[in-house]
Structure 1
Amino acid sequence: MSQQQGPRIPRVPQIFSGIESNKNCYEPMVVSIGPYYHGKLDGFLEMEKSKCNMVRGFVQQSGKHNIEELYKTVEDVAEVARRCYDEDGSVILNDMTEFTKMMFLDVLRSLMKLRFGSDEEGIKLIKDFIKHIRAMPRQRVSCRKKISKFFSKTIPRISISNYSAKDLEMGEYYGASHLLELFHMHFVTSVDKNVTVDSSRTSLYRYHPAMDLRRVGIHFKPSKTSQFTDVQFKPTWLAGRLQIPALTIDDSTKPLLLNLVAYEACLGDNDKLWVTSYICFMDSLIDQPEDVRVLRSQGVLIVTLGSEEEVARLFNEVANYLVPNPLAFNKVKKGHRITL
């Protein structure tokens, strides 16, 4: 792994991208953004042509910028952006002029949609980004605002949004270097008071399937947030209640989880494997389709696509080869083991 300082946008580690059944979860589907797939997939050639039309449309409709001014704005940050990517010998990364042109078209296409699009078009833009990095936020409209603010911070001389400062308040997201990192910050708290590190042996024990927990009186309840770190065990008079963030299961769930796991793997920090640990936690709870039925009936899983068998298989496939932080969610482990 490169030791360069500053923001990085690395490739998906081979241990993940090499799994054939998951490969399409990492490859762009609608539009190629950035250098890694630029010019490499024939299906995106028409979309590349449309980017030029969108640039012209942006300049015409903004009424504030000429094309030379816009290009200079991107050119000023292009070298910094290029250093964020892994060197792979590709022409686009070695030719600064071509890289700047690619970045200019990609940025302006995105700004065009955000600046002049309707709410429906803004949501479609987010879906396009999601199909590129294959990650689906649960709150699409609020995430559009976050992406808009992300771009305005990155390229500050270009106004891209009509949102008020109050609407765009998102100080905790200012550190995001790219969209996948922003999505990760959306799902993982920066400081989680409910998750503490405990080196006791209890932390090394596995969880039990949802059906087994329910038999001894442990019930499930959706957490108040959508953050994967928000997993808590609350003792009750009879047994206990396990609070887990609700997760919608649809055709974007697997790509979402896999991309977030790949991002965490690139961080190289065992203490930051929260999405990875969450997935392994859910995989322990889901051993059979009946476990999915329990979690679904109590609002922890919202299944909009697929059968209970398919949901159980999804978690098994995503958790394959994953190694969680063994100390994650240790309070939950202690609580439910005492009940058992």
Structure 2
Amino acid sequence: MAAGENEENQPQSALTPKLQKVIFLLRDNKNFSKYYEPRVVSLGPIHHGKERYRLGETYKLKLTKDFVTESCENVNIDDLYKKIEQQIEELRECFEEEVTKPYDNGALAWILFVDGCAVLQYIYYAVNNKFKEKNIKDDSVTFFQQDLFLLENQLPYCLLKSLMSLSKMREEFMSSIQNFIKRNHNMVLEGGQQLSGNGEGSGPQPQTHLLDLLRTSLLGPPGRQTQTENVQENRTKDPEWQSYRNLQELKAAGIIVERSCIKTDDSTGPKFLNMIAYEMCPDFYNDFGITSYISFLDSLIKEDGDVKDLRKARVLCNVLGNDQEVAHLFNEMGTDLVPDLEAYKDVKYKIQECYDHGAWRRFTIEFFNHHFRTSWTGIASLGALFVLFLEVTQTWFTVFSPDHCDDFCKKFTQNL
């Protein structure tokens, strides 16, 4: 994951998506506040001033004071604020007009200054394990971290770069951001592996905000080709055709999964759903990498048995609760998604092909699962099969017994 050093002096691109509210298509979600609204701290102008975040304002001011006193030499808060105020027109352009309209330049500059300093100092403390010595409680730390990756809570990355440039600890802050994103990457995918998908169409662009950095870290560099094979021979097949319903049916067909651990906890839903909301922003032209990934997982997970199998295979690490809760989460995240049809096409073709070839295995497994669920049903089924065998044997000897059948044949058929 690049930290943006090469774009340090580049202006905000006109093609870079503006910071905005979650698109209206997602706002009628019954769990909208749970997944998209801050829990402890508001960042930026969208949720600023709401009563429920008053305690968060206290933490932000404390972190801002620490940023100034610990990392800035011979300068006070007023001087730093004036630096940001001088850039306020450029910073205002990073947002959609409607979210900054209620604030004049001075008020908006103060919001961005305090929030930017607080975010940088929080990340630095998080990476260097300094919260205890600063008397900041663990619950506040956890909720603050979740709030950092909400679409409506993002700050322009160019703001963070400007503040870091005013600090004597610029390199430390840059390194902290890299490590912080990597840590949250690993919290989603244990081991730090990247998601597979189409990997095309994004094009290079400057970092927009922390949520954008997390998404880039998960997906890898834009333009990375991830298809493992040439699927030209399958072009005639419908890429949307899928006759299996979930992982249980794939398992019955003899298809197994390999370890590639996805961690599910309280932050999984908000992180993925806000990255999906980011991909759905009207001015963000992208390859829908996260959307396609969640859509693919949703095609495999329909019930708690699917989660159980993935958990046993160490594909899912469930620290959220019971398996049914995880299945519900993925089904909820997978609702009303429009993925890139090219993403995971090779994998989908392979799965469908193996599933089609596993028809006899599915029948055998389903037969035994139905007739041998318990020892008693198994004994009863074996007895029924034995009786059926005897009846078939008797019929065969009766119909096809040769004229020269010896006494043994006659006695055998009589005894049946």
TM-score (norm 2): 0.63
Cα offset for 1:51?
3.3
Aligned in 2, Cα 1:149/1:99: closer, same or farther, shift over 3 Å? closer
Q: What amino acid sits opposite 1:66 in the alignment?
A: V
Q: Which residue of 2 aligns with 1:13?
A: 23
What does 1:133-172 align with in structure 2 at a 5 Å threshold? 133-134=149-150, 151-152=160-161, 155-160=164-169, 163=172
Measure, in 1, the Cα distance between the counterparts of 2:126 and 2:329.
Answer: 35
Measure, in 2, the Cα distance between the counterparts of 1:65 and 1:17.
Answer: 46
What does 1:327-338 align with in structure 2 at a 5 Å threshold? 327-338=342-353
What does 1:214-253 align with in structure 2 at a 5 Å threshold? 214-223=251-260, 246-253=261-268
**2:112 corresponds to 1:103:** yes
Q: Which residue of 2 aligns with 1:299?
A: 314
Measure, in 1, the Cα distance between the counterparts of 2:24 and 2:224.
Answer: 30
Return the match for 2:239 from 196, 203, 207. 203
Q: Which residue of 2 aligns with 1:236?
A: none
Asked whether the equivalents of residues 134 and 255 of structure 1 are also in contact (C-alpha less than 8 Å), the reply is yes
Instruction: Report the more deviating stretch, 122-131 or 248-257.
Output: 122-131
Q: Which residue of 2 aligns with 1:193?
A: 225
Aligned in 2, Cα 1:75/1:270: closer, same or farther, shift over 3 Å? closer
Q: Deviation digits for residues 154-201 of structure 1, max 9, x if unmatched?
A: 74233445649889879x998211111111111112233223897654
SS at match of 1:80: helix
Aligned in 2, Cα 1:6/1:327: closer, same or farther, shift over 3 Å? closer
Higher strand share: 1
TM-score (norm 1): 0.76
Q: Which residue of 1 aligns with 2:73?
A: 64
SS at match of 1:20: coil
Measure, in 1, the Cα distance between the counterparts of 2:146 and 2:328.
Answer: 23
Measure, in 1, the Cα distance between the counterparts of 2:225 and 2:331.
Answer: 29
Cα offset for 1:297?
0.8
Asked whether the equivalents of residues 10 and 84 of structure 1 are also in contact (C-alpha less than 8 Å), the reply is no
Unaligned runs of 5+ in 2: 1-12, 132-137, 180-202, 356-416
Instruction: Report the more deviating stretch, 108-117 or 330-339.
Output: 108-117
Measure, in 2, the Cα distance between the counterparts of 1:167 and 1:43.
Answer: 29
Q: Deviation digits for residues 77-120 of structure 1, max 9, x if unmatched?
A: 32222112222276544x11100011111112223334567722
Aligned in 2, Cα 1:207/1:119: closer, same or farther, shift over 3 Å? farther
Asked whether the equivalents of residues 29 and 132 of structure 1 are also in contact (C-alpha less than 8 Å), the reply is no
Q: What amino acid sits opposite 1:192 in the alignment?
A: R
Asked whether the equivalents of residues 92 and 98 of structure 1 are also in contact (C-alpha less than 8 Å), the reply is no
Q: What amino acid sits opposite 1:195 in the alignment?
A: Q
Measure, in 2, the Cα distance between the counterparts of 1:28 and 1:165.
Answer: 25
**2:213 corresponds to 1:182:** yes
Q: Which residue of 1 aligns with 2:402?
A: none
Q: Report the RMSD for the aligned CA atoms in angstroms.
A: 3.5
Q: What amino acid sits opposite 2:121 in the alignment?
A: M
Unaligned runs of 5+ in 1: 136-146, 224-245
Aligned in 2, Cα 1:63/1:88: closer, same or farther, shift over 3 Å? closer
Q: Deviation digits for residues 111-131 of structure 1, max 9, x if unmatched?
A: 333456772247976851422
Q: Which residue of 1 aligns with 2:330?
A: 315
Asked whether the equivalents of residues 54 and 108 of structure 1 are also in contact (C-alpha less than 8 Å), the reply is yes
Measure, in 2, the Cα distance between the counterparts of 1:10 and 1:168.
Answer: 22
Q: What amino acid sits opposite 2:298 in the alignment?
A: D
Q: Which residue of 2 aligns with 1:242?
A: none
Asked whether the equivalents of residues 27 and 133 of structure 1 are also in contact (C-alpha less than 8 Å), the reply is no
Q: Deviation digits for residues 291-315 of structure 1, max 9, x if unmatched?
A: 1111111111110121111111111
Aligned in 2, Cα 1:309/1:43: closer, same or farther, shift over 3 Å? same
Identity of paired residues, percent?
A: 26
Measure, in 1, the Cα distance between the counterparts of 2:327 and 2:248.
Answer: 13
Measure, in 1, the Cα distance between the counterparts of 2:176 and 2:63.
Answer: 26
Cα offset for 1:64?
0.8
What does 1:15-34 align with in structure 2 at a 5 Å threshold? 15-34=25-44
